[in-house]
Amino acid sequence: MGALALVFTGCLALLFIRLWFVQLAVGAEWARQADLNIVSVDSIAAPRGDIVDRNGIPLATSEPHLILEVDRAVLPLEVEGDVIQRLAAILDVSPTEVRKEVESAGSGLVATLTEFQIDSDTAYLVLEQRPNLPGVRLRTLPVRGYLRGDMMGHVLGHIGLPSLDDLEDQPWLDTNTPVGKLGVELEYEEFLQGTPGKVAYRVNPDGDILEEVGSLDPVQGSTLWLTLDVSTQEVVEGVLVEALDLANTLKEEDTDRVLPPAERAAAVVMEIDTGAILAMASHPGFEPQAFVGGIDVATFEELSSRQAFNNLVIQGLKPPASTFKVVTYVTAMEEGVFPQDVSSPEESIECSPQLAADFVDASQLVWRNWTYPESDGRQNLHEAFRRSCNVYFWEIALSIWRKYARTEQEGIVQGWAREVGFGRDTQVDLPFENEGILGDRQLFEEWQRNQPWRVRKEGWQGGDLMNLVVGQGSVLSTPLQLAVAYASILNGGVVYQPRVADRLESSGGDRVRTMERRVLRTIDIGSETVESLRADLAAVVESGTARRAFEDMGPTAALIGGKTGTAQAFTDQDGAFHDATAWFVGLAPIDDPRWVVAVMVDEGGSGGAVAAPAARAVFQHLFGQEVTPLVAGEDTER
Amino acid sequence: MAVGRAIEGVGGLFRDRPRPTPDVIMFVLTAGLLALGTVMVYSATHVRLGAETGDPTAAMRRQMLFAGLSLAAFIAGSMINYRRYRRIVFLIYGVTVAVLVAVLFFPPIQGASRWIPLWSFQFQPSEFAKVALVVVLAGFLAVRPSERLDWKRLGYALALTAVPGYLIFRQPDLGTMLVIGVIAIGILFVAGTGVKQMAVLLAAGVGGVTAVLRLDILRTYQVERLTGFFDQTADLQGANWNLYQSQIAIGSGQLFGRGLFQGTQTRLNFIPSQTSDFIFTAVGEQMGFVGGAAVIIVYAVLIWRILMVAAVTSDRFGALIAVGMASMLAFHVFVNIGMTIGLVPVTGLPLPFVSAGGSAMIAMAGGLGIVNSIWRTRTPARPGGPAP
């Protein structure tokens, strides 16, 4: 064992001697090497790609801003106080402010002094004083600029520093470079972010740059061309504000009741043969610029309390009400289901003030039409559609129930609804889309298992189907889903993916990617049905529930077809009264439709009175007419 | 055997103490090294972690947790009478081999299947296998009262060593495999291997290394590290980068070092694997020759204490355990520090108690605890005296 001890002693002695040699005999040379060895690699942030409208009008750009950085790893602690004093003098602010900013980064880290505006004079002073400002650097940083205030806020979205989740998913992200958080800023983040550059310097321990070792220029992100059109968007956003004013004026005129004010509205304009969205507006909105450099908590909370970040076009779920009747209409025509004793769309029944259903289940038995206590006369399918007669459509539901209850065929209306896009996402190229709800026996059974408070224990009943065929009860959809449904039926059965982005180009102008129009699915729908519906949609505007709303448009009104909708007012669980939701979905030119316009005014009252006039103003713009002020249309359907 | 007698002489100072007490020096030095490791890990990680995650102390807190567990392992090892292991050496051996087989089926990390994920930790069985092998070989070779080992028993001992050695080589973990070999040589040497047998072993060893180099069994990086060692000026950006950077860091520390948290090389992450295999560069740069030498002396004292336990215990099993632990510790220290200063080729072995890495710390602290248990029970209990 002594020998072993000797071996160990020898080994440790060797370490000792070698350590002495490395650190003391030649240590000075190594120390000199260490001084040469500090290579500082700086990342150069890439400017985010621009965002422009379909005509190239810039919406969001990247502007270089000068900022100051203090590298606390390089700034010796003994002189930190002096450096802060000097910086404060140059920036003409108090040393306490500068200290606060510098200390916002931990010791040994780089503090970015974004608080202070650096103009070229200040920059010059900093450069001149450089020897007295160890660790202080000037840097240009590209900063996002939104050029049009809150316009298209929901489509553009906003940026923000990456969250911990973002960093986990994409570990290569720089913690100081903002990323897209909402809208196309998020959806197209990978194209917009660009590629950061790098520059490597050899620096001495004081941080003085001895030489540049190498560099790589940053590459700006791609330019995103939207399908949206600034002029149409401007009109649509303005019309929504006007529609809310109109709704609230009507409420004030109503002396019988005190109604809650309308505060939210949304509208979308889409090309029916491509899925390209021309305008998408949701009110209230926000200014994306508020998020650049970090949004303050008070502003954020105020905006979120008003749900200003919600894009109601893709997230606002409401009962589509009578606008859903197109689905029931198509089902009736395609499946040949009509009210009892009626065998063709031309045969009429009495649109009575109320209907007594012969259910033996837990369903409601007496159903009142919106004209109650008046009768609306004898009507066939076309007339019932034009006058939005609920009784006729309820009779269709009753026929389905009598014939098909508890069979496969029971869900034929929902089958058509799902085909045209209800209860599923539209796959629009924007994040956080809401897919809505489309009720049927299966969904109710699922809810009874998972969320029993949502449905009564008896499950799916005939009354639920009656509600559904007129767009009430267990059907909830977004304005975009309605636009897609109308577009797909009226273009003959092609469901396109709605989209806000047209193409991506590199900052040099090369095409990076084109978002081709994309067919999601095709629906087998008879051309007779489409033709018949087209004529009836035109009749709604010509002589139906939307007639008065389009009067101001003059003869051009003949080119419009559409459908009003008014979702029932209700009192929620907390006892708060919610006024009816006003809807209008229109198409033009109705002979060979090109655009679909969907307007939703939350708690706006009647669709004919409020939403249809708003759509009229949008069509005026699309036809190049002067956009006239909104005037209330006919108060229908409630 | 002059040195052996000298050690016994010093040990004799304590021999007749009435009550077997724990080896306070061993405990204090171990705790001191654990504390040093915590500070060094912080110095090497706080800048990067602060910048990247905003939490500069994350690595240090982990190291502190492991240091705490290591002290607990030391105390646990001390409290358990080591003689109990003797009856279960083959159970220990079986479990060790089973776990070493199991680890090969876990998904590799950076090309090596060395770890078993446990919650948020990575359990590294080979670190515990080293300590286990010390106990197993000691138990197997201590059965004979005579000084001489026959060829048959020597052959069995080599076979016992070869199985875990091969499994660790398969991971692959060349450094740990070498430790296994060194442990075996240390224990066999003291267990009474004759000169002729030793000569045969050495010849076989040299032959084995040559075969490994010639037969392409090693991965390219392993060969590059070895050949790089022999020409340290070649390929400074590649295989010799670690060695070059680590010598710059240590060398620039000079006599008194650059001061704690002041070394540019340590703070700015020039050295890959700095918190694990190259932690000594942080010591060398920040604390200089004075600090580095002090650390070597601390290890020397620790090894001296362990060898003294081997010298004074009347139990052959305990003596062989102590010898094995001393061999393991000495080899780790020599290879780890040696590679950072260009004395031996780069091999991935942690610096005991200082390098980041929970398994190695806890296993070795537990091993020292066992040695301490031998120290506490070094003389048989006297009738009527206090229990050992």
pLDDT at A439 over 80: yes
Test A11 with B334 for CB contact under 8 angstroms: yes
Verify cis geometry, omega within 30 degrees of 0, for the bond prior to A196: no
Q: If you ran DSSP here, which 8-state letter would residue B380 be given?
A: P
Of B47, B186, B288, the CB nearest to A23: B288
The pLDDT score that the predictor gives to residue A16 is 86
Give B231: exposed, middle or buried? Use CB within 10 Å, 0-12, 13-18, 19+: exposed
Could A106 and B251 be called an inter-chain contact, meaning their C-beta atoms sit closer than 8 Å? no
Q: Which residues have a Cβ under 8 Å from the Cβ of B242 and sit 6 or more positions away?
A: B271, B272, B273, B278, B346
> Which residues, 6+ apart, have CB-to-CB distance to B295 below 8 Å?
B33, B36, B280, B283, B337, B354
Chain A residues touching residue B338 (CB < 8 angstroms): 14-15, 18
Min Cα distance A47 → chain B (Å) is: 21
Q: Which residues of A touch B268 (CB under 8 A)?
A: 38, 73
Q: Is A528's pLDDT higher than 60? A: yes
DSSP character string of A338-398: -STT--STT--EE--SEEE----SSS--EEE-TTTTS---EE-HHHHHHTT-HHHHHHHHH
Residues A535, A544 contacting (CB under 8 angstroms): no
- Nearest residue in chain A measured CA to CA from B342: A18
Cβ of residue A2 closer than 8 Å to a chain B Cβ: yes
Q: Is the pLDDT of residue B6 over 60?
A: no
| pLDDT-derived band at B208, boundaries 50, 70, 90 | confident
Determine contact: A73 vs chain B, CB below 8 A. yes
Distance from the Cα of residue A482 to its chain's centroid: 16
For residue A89, is it within any domain? yes
Residues A88 and A215 in one domain: yes
Instruction: Give me the CATH number covering residue A99.
Output: 3.90.1310.10
Asked if pLDDT for residue A473 goes beyond 50, the answer is yes
In a domain, A379, yes or no: yes
Could you give the 3-state DSSP secondary structure of residue A192?
A: helix
Domain endpoint, select from A496, A522, A548: A522
Which segment, A309-318, B330-339, B348-357, is predicted with the most confidence on average? Answer: A309-318
pLDDT over 90 for what percent of chain A? 60
SS3 A431: coil
Residue with tokens 């897919």: A435
- B327 burial (CB, 10 Å; 0-12 / 13-18 / 19+) is buried
The mean of the pLDDT values for chain A is 89
pLDDT at A138: 81
**CB-based contact A108 B47, cutoff 8 Å:** yes
Q: What pLDDT score was predicted for residue B237? A: 44
Confidence of residue B239 (pLDDT cuts 50, 70, 90): low
Task: Nearest chain A residue to B192 by CA: give it.
Answer: A1
| Domain tally, chain A | 2
Q: Which residues of A touch B288 (CB under 8 A)?
A: 23
With H, G, I as helix, E, B as strand and everything else as coil, classify residue A213: strand
- Interatomic CA distance for residues A437 and A480, integer angstroms: 14
Secondary structure string (H, E, C) spanning B317-364 = HHHHHHHHHHHHHHHHHHHHHHHHCCCCCCCCCCCCCCCCCHHHHHHH
Residue A369, pLDDT above cutoff 50: yes
Q: What is the mean pLDDT of chain B?
A: 79
Half-sphere exposure of A196 (CA within 13 A, CB side): 18
Contacts of B49 in chain A (CB under 8 A): none
CATH code for the domain of A342: 3.40.710.10
Is A37 at the interface with chain B, CB within 8 A?
yes
| Closest-approach residue (CA) in chain B for A2 | B4
Cβ-nearest to A1 among B190, B250, B255? B190
Is there a contact between A73 and B47 if contact means CB atoms under 8 Å apart?
yes
Cβ–Cβ gap B296/A15 under 8 Å: yes
From the list B7, B270, B303, the residue facing A37 with the nearest CB is B270
Spell out which residues of chain B touch residue A103, defining contact as CB-CB under 8 Å: none
Q: Which residue of A has its CA nearest to B297?
A: A12
Q: Is residue A143 part of a domain?
A: yes
Region A157-176 average pLDDT? 82
Q: Which residue has the higher pLDDT, A196 or A268?
A: A268
Q: Which chain A residue is nearest to residue B6, measuring alpha carbons?
A: A2
Statement: residue A235 has pLDDT above 70? yes
| Residue of A15, A26, A104 to mutate when probing chain B, most B C-beta within 10 A | A15
Q: Do A30 and B248 touch (CB under 8 A)?
A: yes
Continuous segment of H or E residues that includes residue A586: strand A581-588
Q: Do B251 and A27 touch (CB under 8 A)?
A: yes
Tell me whether A10 touches chain B (CB under 8 Å).
Answer: no
Question: Between chains, do B289 and A20 touch, taking CB under 8 Å as contact?
Answer: yes
d(CA B162, CA B180): 9
The answer, yes or no, to whether the previous bond of B164 is cis (omega within 30 of 0) is no
Which of B270, B327, B343 faces A15 most closely, judged by CB atoms?
B343
Rounded Cα gap, residues A349 and A392, in angstroms: 7
Parent domain of A156 = 40-200+211-226
Q: What is the mean pLDDT of residues A568-587?
A: 90
Query: Domain boundaries in chain B?
Result: 2-376
The verdict on a CB contact (< 8 Å) between B251 and A9 is no
pLDDT at residue A201 above 80? no
Cross-strand pairs, B293: none
What percent of chain A lies above the pLDDT cut of 70? 96
Q: Does A294 touch chain B (CB under 8 A)?
A: no
Q: A22 and B334 in contact by Cβ < 8 A? A: no
Question: What's the pLDDT tens digit per position in B279-306?
Answer: 888 888 888 888 989 999 999 999 999 9
**Which pLDDT band holds residue A277 (cuts at 50, 70, 90)?**
very high
pLDDT on residue A269: 98
φ, ψ for residue B215 (rounded to 5)?
-90, 15
**Are B252 and A2 inside 8 Å of each other by CB?**
no
Lowest mean pLDDT among A123-137, A345-359, A542-556, B336-350: A123-137
Residue spans of beta strands (DSSP E) within chain B = 116-118, 121-123
In a domain, A445, yes or no: yes
Is the predicted pLDDT of residue B10 greater than 50, yes or no? no
Q: Answer yes or no: do A73 and B310 touch at CB < 8 A.
A: no
User: What pLDDT, on a 0 to 100 scale, did the predictor assign at position A71?
Assistant: 81
For A431: left if phi > 0, alpha if psi spans -120 to 50, otherwise beta; the answer is beta
Instruction: Check B254 against A28: CB less than 8 A apart.
Output: yes
Quick check: B248 and A9 CB within 8 A? no
Instruction: Indicate the range of A507-516, B138-147, B295-304, B305-314 predicted with least confidence.
Output: B138-147
pLDDT higher than threshold 60 for residue B129: yes
Residue among A3, A27, A106 whose CB faces B50 most closely: A106
Residue A175 contacts B, CB cutoff 8 Å: yes
Q: Which residue of A has its CA nearest to B329?
A: A8
Query: Nearest residue on chain A to B254, judged by CA atoms?
Result: A23
pLDDT attached to residue B53: 64
pLDDT in tens, A303-332: 999 999 999 999 999 999 999 999 999 999
Residues A75, A81, A84, A85, CA torsion sign = negative
Strand partners, A499: A276
Q: What is the nearest CA distance from B334 to chain A, expressed in angstroms? A: 6
pLDDT over threshold 50, residue A576: yes
CB contact under 8 A, A12 and B252: no
Give me the pLDDT at residue B219, please: 62
Note whether A33 contacts B268, CB cutoff 8 Å.
Answer: no
Residue B323 has pLDDT above 90, yes or no: yes
Residues of A in contact with B293 (CB under 8 A): 16, 19-20
- For residue B202 the two structure tokens come to 């050495």
Instruction: Please judge whether B330 and A6 are an interchain contact, meaning their C-beta atoms are less than 8 angstroms apart.
Output: no
pLDDT tens-digit map of A537-559 = 999 999 999 999 999 898 999 99
Q: How many CB pairs under 8 A join A and B?
A: 143
A77 touches chain B (CB under 8 A): no
Q: Is residue A638 part of a domain?
A: no
Decide which of B16 and A212 is more confident. A212
Indicate yes or no: CB of B255 within 8 angstroms of CB of A24.
yes
pLDDT for the residue numbered A207: 57
Closest approach of chain B CAs to the CA of A80, in angstroms?
A: 15
* Pair A52, A178 in one domain: yes
Say yes or no for a CB contact (<8 Å) between A33 and B248.
yes
Q: Is residue A69 part of a domain?
A: yes
In which band, very low, low, confident or very high, does the pLDDT at B8 lie, cut at 50, 70 and 90? very low
Beta bridge partners of A268: A280, A598
Question: For B7, which residue in chain A has the nearest alpha carbon?
Answer: A2
List, for residues B21-80, the tens digit of each pLDDT value.
778 889 999 999 999 999 988 888 877 676 666 677 888 888 899 999 999 999 999 988
Q: Would residue A196 count as lying in a domain?
A: yes
More confident call, B317 vs A207: B317
CA distance B268 to chain A (A): 8
The whole-number pLDDT of residue A205 equals 55
pLDDT for the residue B381? 45
Of B248, B251, B303, the CB nearest to A8: B303
Model confidence over B165-196: pLDDT tens digits? 989 888 888 888 889 988 998 898 888 777 78
- Suggest the residue from B60, B241, B261, B264 to mutate for an interface test with chain A (most A CBs closer than 10 A): B264
Q: Using 50, 70 and 90 to split pLDDT, how confident is the model at B235?
A: very low
pLDDT value for A637: 65
pLDDT: is A56 or B279 the higher one?
A56
User: What is the per-residue pLDDT for B14?
Assistant: 46
The region of weakest confidence among A254-258, A491-495, A559-563, A565-569 is A254-258
Cβ-in-10-Å burial (0-12, 13-18, 19+) of A126 comes to buried
Let me know the angle formed at the C-alpha of A15 by A14 and A19, rounded to the nearest 5 degrees. Answer: 120
Instruction: Report whether pLDDT(A459) > 50.
Output: yes
How far apart (Å, rounded) are the C-alpha atoms in residues A397 and A439?
Answer: 14
Confidence tier at B271 by pLDDT (50, 70, 90): low
